[in-house]
Structure 1
Protein backbone atom coordinates (compact mmCIF):
# COMPACT_ATOMS: atom_id res chain seq x y z
CA UNK A 1 0.00 0.00 0.00
CA UNK A 2 2.86 2.37 0.72
CA UNK A 3 4.21 1.69 -2.79
CA UNK A 4 0.91 2.86 -4.21
CA UNK A 5 1.01 6.06 -2.17
CA UNK A 6 4.58 6.79 -3.25
CA UNK A 7 3.61 6.15 -6.89
CA UNK A 8 0.69 8.54 -6.47
CA UNK A 9 3.06 11.19 -5.12
CA UNK A 10 5.39 10.73 -8.10
CA UNK A 11 2.44 10.95 -10.50
CA UNK A 12 1.32 14.16 -8.76
CA UNK A 13 4.75 15.74 -9.26
CA UNK A 14 4.80 14.72 -12.94
CA UNK A 15 1.32 16.17 -13.52
CA UNK A 16 2.40 19.35 -11.73
CA UNK A 17 5.39 19.72 -14.05
CA UNK A 18 3.23 19.15 -17.14
CA UNK A 19 0.63 21.61 -15.87
CA UNK A 20 3.35 24.20 -15.26
CA UNK A 21 4.56 23.82 -18.83
CA UNK A 22 1.06 24.07 -20.27
CA UNK A 23 -0.67 26.55 -17.98
CA UNK A 24 1.82 28.33 -15.75
CA UNK A 25 2.26 28.47 -11.98
CA UNK A 26 -1.42 28.59 -11.06
CA UNK A 27 -2.06 25.42 -13.06
CA UNK A 28 0.94 23.73 -11.45
CA UNK A 29 -0.23 24.51 -7.92
CA UNK A 30 -3.76 23.46 -8.80
CA UNK A 31 -2.58 20.12 -10.20
CA UNK A 32 -0.34 19.45 -7.21
CA UNK A 33 -3.10 20.37 -4.77
CA UNK A 34 -5.51 18.10 -6.63
CA UNK A 35 -3.05 15.23 -6.43
CA UNK A 36 -2.37 15.88 -2.74
CA UNK A 37 -6.11 15.76 -2.06
CA UNK A 38 -5.83 12.10 -3.09
CA UNK A 39 -2.35 11.25 -1.77
CA UNK A 40 -2.71 12.58 1.79
CA UNK A 41 -5.86 10.60 2.73
CA UNK A 42 -4.47 7.46 1.07
CA UNK A 43 -1.23 7.86 2.99
CA UNK A 44 -3.05 8.26 6.29
CA UNK A 45 -5.19 5.20 5.57
CA UNK A 46 -2.15 3.15 4.55
CA UNK A 47 -0.27 4.00 7.74
CA UNK A 48 -3.29 3.26 9.94
CA UNK A 49 -4.01 -0.08 8.23
CA UNK A 50 -0.33 -1.03 8.41
CA UNK A 51 -0.30 -0.21 12.12
CA UNK A 52 -3.45 -2.23 12.81
CA UNK A 53 -2.06 -5.19 10.85
CA UNK A 54 1.18 -4.98 12.83
CA UNK A 55 -0.65 -5.06 16.18
CA UNK A 56 -3.01 -7.81 15.04
CA UNK A 57 -6.18 -5.74 15.37
CA UNK A 58 -6.96 -5.67 11.65
CA UNK A 59 -10.46 -6.69 10.66
CA UNK A 60 -12.90 -5.79 7.88
CA UNK A 61 -14.61 -3.18 10.03
CA UNK A 62 -11.31 -1.34 10.46
CA UNK A 63 -10.87 -1.22 6.71
CA UNK A 64 -14.38 0.13 6.08
CA UNK A 65 -14.10 2.74 8.82
CA UNK A 66 -10.80 4.02 7.42
CA UNK A 67 -12.19 3.94 3.89
CA UNK A 68 -15.04 6.19 5.01
CA UNK A 69 -12.58 8.52 6.77
CA UNK A 70 -10.43 8.59 3.62
CA UNK A 71 -13.35 9.58 1.40
CA UNK A 72 -14.54 12.22 3.86
CA UNK A 73 -11.03 13.67 4.20
CA UNK A 74 -10.66 13.75 0.41
CA UNK A 75 -13.89 15.74 0.06
CA UNK A 76 -12.88 18.10 2.87
CA UNK A 77 -9.47 18.72 1.30
CA UNK A 78 -11.02 19.39 -2.12
CA UNK A 79 -13.47 21.81 -0.52
CA UNK A 80 -10.75 23.64 1.40
CA UNK A 81 -8.64 23.87 -1.74
CA UNK A 82 -11.52 25.33 -3.76
CA UNK A 83 -12.38 27.76 -0.97
CA UNK A 84 -8.89 29.04 -0.13
CA UNK A 85 -6.95 29.02 -3.41
CA UNK A 86 -8.20 31.99 -5.44
CA UNK A 87 -6.20 31.28 -8.64
CA UNK A 88 -7.54 27.75 -8.89
CA UNK A 89 -7.39 26.15 -12.31
CA UNK A 90 -10.20 23.59 -12.17
CA UNK A 91 -8.99 21.56 -15.14
CA UNK A 92 -5.53 21.17 -13.62
CA UNK A 93 -7.00 20.33 -10.20
CA UNK A 94 -9.22 17.59 -11.60
CA UNK A 95 -6.39 16.28 -13.83
CA UNK A 96 -4.02 16.06 -10.86
CA UNK A 97 -6.67 14.35 -8.76
CA UNK A 98 -7.60 11.78 -11.42
CA UNK A 99 -4.00 10.96 -12.33
CA UNK A 100 -3.10 10.43 -8.66
CA UNK A 101 -6.26 8.42 -8.12
CA UNK A 102 -5.66 6.10 -11.08
CA UNK A 103 -1.86 5.83 -10.91
CA UNK A 104 -2.09 2.42 -9.24
CA UNK A 105 -3.02 1.00 -12.65
CA UNK A 106 0.65 1.28 -13.60
CA UNK A 107 1.52 -1.11 -10.77
CA UNK A 108 -1.10 -3.59 -11.97
CA UNK A 109 0.42 -3.79 -15.45
CA UNK A 110 4.03 -3.76 -14.28
CA UNK A 111 4.39 -7.54 -14.16
Structure 2
Protein backbone atom coordinates (compact mmCIF):
# COMPACT_ATOMS: atom_id res chain seq x y z
CA UNK A 1 0.00 0.00 0.00
CA UNK A 2 2.84 2.36 0.79
CA UNK A 3 4.45 1.62 -2.56
CA UNK A 4 1.30 2.80 -4.29
CA UNK A 5 1.48 6.05 -2.32
CA UNK A 6 5.13 6.46 -3.28
CA UNK A 7 4.18 5.94 -6.92
CA UNK A 8 1.53 8.62 -6.54
CA UNK A 9 4.13 10.95 -5.04
CA UNK A 10 6.50 10.24 -7.92
CA UNK A 11 3.73 10.93 -10.43
CA UNK A 12 2.97 14.19 -8.64
CA UNK A 13 6.62 15.25 -8.85
CA UNK A 14 6.64 14.35 -12.56
CA UNK A 15 3.43 16.31 -13.15
CA UNK A 16 4.88 19.29 -11.29
CA UNK A 17 8.01 19.23 -13.44
CA UNK A 18 5.98 18.95 -16.66
CA UNK A 19 3.67 21.77 -15.60
CA UNK A 20 6.64 23.95 -14.64
CA UNK A 21 8.10 23.55 -18.12
CA UNK A 22 4.87 24.29 -19.98
CA UNK A 23 2.97 26.63 -17.63
CA UNK A 24 5.60 28.19 -15.36
CA UNK A 25 5.47 28.59 -11.61
CA UNK A 26 1.70 29.02 -11.58
CA UNK A 27 1.29 25.67 -13.33
CA UNK A 28 3.82 23.95 -11.08
CA UNK A 29 2.03 25.08 -7.94
CA UNK A 30 -1.32 24.02 -9.40
CA UNK A 31 -0.06 20.58 -10.45
CA UNK A 32 1.60 20.01 -7.09
CA UNK A 33 -1.60 21.04 -5.32
CA UNK A 34 -3.73 18.71 -7.42
CA UNK A 35 -1.37 15.78 -6.94
CA UNK A 36 -0.88 16.34 -3.22
CA UNK A 37 -4.65 16.58 -2.75
CA UNK A 38 -4.64 12.91 -3.77
CA UNK A 39 -1.37 11.77 -2.17
CA UNK A 40 -1.95 13.04 1.37
CA UNK A 41 -5.32 11.29 1.95
CA UNK A 42 -3.96 8.12 0.33
CA UNK A 43 -1.00 8.15 2.70
CA UNK A 44 -3.27 8.54 5.74
CA UNK A 45 -5.50 5.73 4.43
CA UNK A 46 -2.51 3.39 3.97
CA UNK A 47 -1.17 4.32 7.40
CA UNK A 48 -4.56 3.64 9.02
CA UNK A 49 -4.87 0.25 7.32
CA UNK A 50 -1.35 -0.64 8.44
CA UNK A 51 -2.21 0.21 12.05
CA UNK A 52 -5.46 -1.77 11.84
CA UNK A 53 -3.72 -4.88 10.51
CA UNK A 54 -1.00 -4.67 13.16
CA UNK A 55 -3.56 -4.44 15.95
CA UNK A 56 -6.02 -7.09 14.76
CA UNK A 57 -3.96 -9.11 12.32
CA UNK A 58 -6.50 -8.44 9.56
CA UNK A 59 -8.29 -5.42 8.17
CA UNK A 60 -12.06 -5.67 8.04
CA UNK A 61 -14.12 -4.79 5.01
CA UNK A 62 -15.93 -2.15 7.03
CA UNK A 63 -12.66 -0.44 7.95
CA UNK A 64 -11.56 -0.50 4.32
CA UNK A 65 -14.82 0.90 2.93
CA UNK A 66 -15.10 3.57 5.63
CA UNK A 67 -11.48 4.56 5.10
CA UNK A 68 -11.96 4.74 1.34
CA UNK A 69 -15.03 6.96 1.76
CA UNK A 70 -13.12 9.26 4.12
CA UNK A 71 -10.23 9.34 1.65
CA UNK A 72 -12.49 10.38 -1.24
CA UNK A 73 -14.21 13.03 0.87
CA UNK A 74 -10.78 14.34 1.92
CA UNK A 75 -9.64 14.58 -1.69
CA UNK A 76 -12.71 16.61 -2.60
CA UNK A 77 -12.26 18.79 0.49
CA UNK A 78 -8.58 19.42 -0.24
CA UNK A 79 -9.35 20.36 -3.85
CA UNK A 80 -11.95 22.82 -2.57
CA UNK A 81 -9.38 24.21 -0.14
CA UNK A 82 -6.87 24.64 -2.97
CA UNK A 83 -9.43 26.57 -4.99
CA UNK A 84 -10.31 28.75 -1.99
CA UNK A 85 -6.72 29.51 -0.99
CA UNK A 86 -4.95 29.74 -4.36
CA UNK A 87 -7.05 32.01 -6.56
CA UNK A 88 -4.57 31.96 -9.48
CA UNK A 89 -4.94 28.22 -10.10
CA UNK A 90 -4.13 26.87 -13.57
CA UNK A 91 -6.90 24.37 -14.28
CA UNK A 92 -5.01 22.33 -16.86
CA UNK A 93 -2.03 21.84 -14.60
CA UNK A 94 -4.24 21.02 -11.61
CA UNK A 95 -6.02 18.33 -13.63
CA UNK A 96 -2.71 16.95 -14.93
CA UNK A 97 -1.40 16.61 -11.38
CA UNK A 98 -4.63 15.07 -10.12
CA UNK A 99 -5.05 12.58 -12.98
CA UNK A 100 -1.42 11.44 -12.91
CA UNK A 101 -1.56 10.92 -9.16
CA UNK A 102 -4.82 8.97 -9.43
CA UNK A 103 -3.64 6.82 -12.33
CA UNK A 104 -0.32 5.98 -10.67
CA UNK A 105 -2.17 3.31 -8.68
CA UNK A 106 -2.69 1.35 -11.90
CA UNK A 107 1.05 0.75 -12.07
CA UNK A 108 1.40 -0.29 -8.43
CA UNK A 109 1.02 -3.97 -9.32
CA UNK A 110 4.14 -3.74 -11.50
CA UNK A 111 6.33 -2.91 -8.49
CA UNK A 112 7.84 -6.07 -7.06
CA UNK A 113 7.49 -6.55 -3.31
Shorter-normalised TM-score: what interval?
over 0.9
For the residues of structure 1 that align with 2:91 and 2:76, how far apart are their CA atoms?
A: 15
SS at match of 2:59: coil
Structure 2 CA distance for aligned equivalents of residues 83 and 33 of structure 1:
12
SS of residue matched to 1:103: helix
Instruction: Write the mapping of 1:20-99 to structure 2, written as runs, cut at 5 A.
Output: 20-56=20-56, 58-99=59-100
- Report the Cα distance in structure 2 between the residues aligned to 1:64 and 1:10, rounded to whole angstroms: 26
The separation in 2 between residues aligned to 1:61 and 1:105, in whole angstroms, is 23
Gap runs ≥5 in structure 1: none
* Cα deviation code 1:9-66 (max 9, x no counterpart): 0110111011000010000000000000100010000000010001116211000110
Structure-2 residue corresponding to 1:10: 10
Aligned-residue offset at 1:108: 3.1
TM-score by length of 2: 0.93
- The root-mean-square deviation of aligned C-alpha atoms, in Å, is 1.3
**1:107 offset after TM fit, Å?**
2.9
Q: Give the Cα separation in 1 of the matches to 2:2 and 2:102.
A: 14
Distance in 1 (CA, whole Å) between partners of 2:4 and 2:27 is 24
CA drift at 1:99? 0.3
Q: TM-score, with normalisation over the residues of structure 1?
A: 0.94
Residues in 2 aligned to 1:39 and 1:103: alpha-carbon distance in whole angstroms: 10
Matched pairs, number: 111
